[in-house]
Structure 1
Amino acid sequence: MPLLPLDETAAPHAQPPPREDVRRRLPGVTAARRAVVLLPLLLLAVWAALDRRAVQDGAVRLAGADPWWLLVGLLFTYLGAVAAACVRQGAIRERLPTGPLVASQIAAGAANHVLPASIGAHAVTVRFLLRQGVPLPRATASIALYSLVRAVAKTPVVLVFVLAAPSAAPPVRLLPQGRTLVLAAAGLLLAPLAAAALYAFVRPLRRPALDFVRAALTDARLLHARPGRVLPLWGGAVAAPLLQAGVVASVGTALGVPMSWPQLLFAFLAASTAAGAVPAPGGIGPVDAALVFTLAGYGTPLPLATATVIGYRALTVWVPLLPGMLVLSALVQRKLL
């Protein structure tokens, strides 16, 4: 009896189409991907609408500034993304592609100004690491190492300024006093106690917490045994605050602030250190107020100090925000995020 040709469309054991073909046939998946791509641009529009007055004031005050020094400040801004990429690479054992890594940090910088306490930047980075095949426990452990190294590296930078250039120290007290000191000490004590209480009483968190601690300690030990990871990890962490301070110094020079570069650099380092504990989006708000008062402590007129802070925010937030959102959308389209 001759065998009849099988109808592939009716065969019960036919191979299912590739997953990518299924996604292309599902309009909901395509629409969801397009929505994710357009979401950063929508957030940008909302942000601009809510803070349009700051944009207008900054543009007016910066109209008479030296444009070449503003370009130098913008260069420092994008070099900050390169420094962040160095720290990210130093905090992970796998070799990451250089171009996409730097692009992810440009996108992370834009996301960082939408959510508080660097949540947006860390979320973008974790997604990028997952796309590169890094397991989730080690990806989150690299975020913890990144944050710890960035915080620790700023301390010797400030001390070097105090010891090498004592004239750069502002004529104001830098250490907290009174209730501020009590609140800071209470925060340092309550944070580990709260973590221990969560671990003791919330059992579903025990296994993920142990995996996270093991991954963090193992990666930290292995990474510090490799010079190819230690140098970008700590070198980028030291360079990052100096590059941010360089933006403030460039804007101050462009506006004619009567302060030297060491004083401008130290003013930002002191202000960002004092206000870094407040979980505001990108540090916007606390750092701005602290920087204005620090510049005024040097004798800078308050309107000029305010213009310097507005210029700093323009170069670190508004000017890079649109390119950063476009890079974020491009990375989502190319499935790198």
Structure 2
Amino acid sequence: MTSEPCVAVAAPVRRRVPWPLLGSFAVLLGVVWLARRHWSVVSDGAGRLVVADQGWLLCGAFATVGTWGCAALTQQGAVTPSLPRGRLVATQFAASAANHLLPAGLGASAVNLRFLMRCGLTATRSATALGVKASASAVARITLIVALAPLAPGMLRMPEVPATVVLGVAAVLLLLPALLLWTRCRRALSAVVADIRTVHARPCRAAALWGGAFAFALLHACVLIAVTRAIGLALSPVHVALVYLAASSAAALLPTPGGIGSLDAVLALSLTATGAPAVAATSAVLGYRLLTVWLPLVPGLLMLAVLIRRRAL
């Protein structure tokens, strides 16, 4: 009597849908479609950037370099142990490049997480340090918006929101307490709060955390201000800074790599809403992206490869 060989039936493998990547792809497709539709405006904006004032563009480049030092200062302020300064600044430079390859800031978070763990922090402490840094950055942006809004009255106007959006936001607000009661979420929040208290027990760390967070946002606004001056766009620095802070805060809700596409569209629309011509607004956005993304991208990726090769990450 022969027995039939047993045939192993493989269980179906469930693949998770990469919603962040799909969202990023959808947003980028939308921006490409808009750029294609208004290609004449984009090309004219690029041409205006070519003949821009080189001195102001150089000022914007220096402000861009300063953002990496501010990011390093904020990261040092988020932890109590002293971090190696040279590697810390180099890591922020590499993280800024990696941030433009993955959606929703995952690239920068992954690079900083690896760096903190290489410096001896546990995975949990490293993750909470990133949470402290992100919380300080968000609070700094909101504080700057509140401080600058009275200097530009009527600039930040609440748009007309459909009823469906209002109901959706209300549903999220109603579900938020339930999410906060979730065990893992409560543990993560309690860990971040504990680290914030520990950091603020040391004045030097608290000063580094908040000073770096405020300076980082202001320097990015200075980059955009320098570009608008370079192309001769007649907008006050307060208006431009407020436009950047509001646009970057809104674009952070869209999971595109480094805000590419989402921030560009929101910035261009915001500058146009303040009275800037479409060509000038497009030129300002292109110049801002040139200084903060495209020029540092390849050197940043090379720095990332060097840090990985030297096992600093």
2:237 counterpart of 1:261:
yes
Kept in 2, the 8 Å contact 1:138–1:212? The answer is no
Give the TM-score normalised by the residue count of structure 2.
0.80
CA 1:145/1:324 → structure 2, altered by over 3 Å: closer, same or farther?
A: same
Q: Quick one: distance in 2 between partners of 1:188 and 1:96?
A: 38
Q: Quick one: distance in 1 between partners of 2:300 and 2:97?
A: 5
- Counting only pairs closer than 5 Å after superposition, residues 92-111 of structure 1 correspond to structure 2 as 92-111=79-98
The one of 146, 152, 170 aligned to 1:166? 152
- Structure 2 match to 1:83: 70
Task: Tell me by how many angstroms 1:176 deviates.
Answer: 6.7
- Counting only pairs closer than 5 Å after superposition, residues 83-232 of structure 1 correspond to structure 2 as 83-163=70-150, 165-166=151-152, 170=155, 173-174=157-158, 177-179=161-163, 180-190=165-175, 193-194=178-179, 196=181, 199=183, 212-213=188-189, 215-232=191-208
- Structure 1 match to 2:267: 291
Q: Quick one: distance in 1 between partners of 2:83 and 2:203?
A: 16
2:50 counterpart of 1:66:
no
Kept in 1, the 8 Å contact 2:268–2:281? The answer is yes
1:228-263, Cα deviation, whole Å (9 max, x unpaired): 110011111111111111111111110111211111
Describe the SS at the equivalent of 1:242: helix
Give the TM-score normalised by the residue count of structure 1.
0.75
Describe the SS at the equivalent of 2:264: helix
Deviates more, 1:186-195 or 1:68-77: 186-195
Task: Tell me by how many angstroms 1:213 deviates.
Answer: 4.7
Q: Quick one: distance in 2 between partners of 1:103 and 1:192?
A: 39
Identical columns (%): 41
CA 1:140/1:256 → structure 2, altered by over 3 Å: closer, same or farther?
A: same
CA 1:300/1:82 → structure 2, altered by over 3 Å: closer, same or farther?
A: same
Describe the SS at the equivalent of 2:81: coil
Q: Could you say which structure has the larger radius of gyration?
A: 1
Kept in 2, the 8 Å contact 1:137–1:212? The answer is no
CA 1:176/1:80 → structure 2, altered by over 3 Å: closer, same or farther?
A: farther
**Structure 2 runs not aligned, ≥5 long:** 1-31
One-letter amino acid matched to 1:152? V
CA 1:224/1:316 → structure 2, altered by over 3 Å: closer, same or farther?
A: same
Kept in 2, the 8 Å contact 1:174–1:270? The answer is no
Kept in 1, the 8 Å contact 2:104–2:252? The answer is no
- Structure 1 match to 2:304: 328
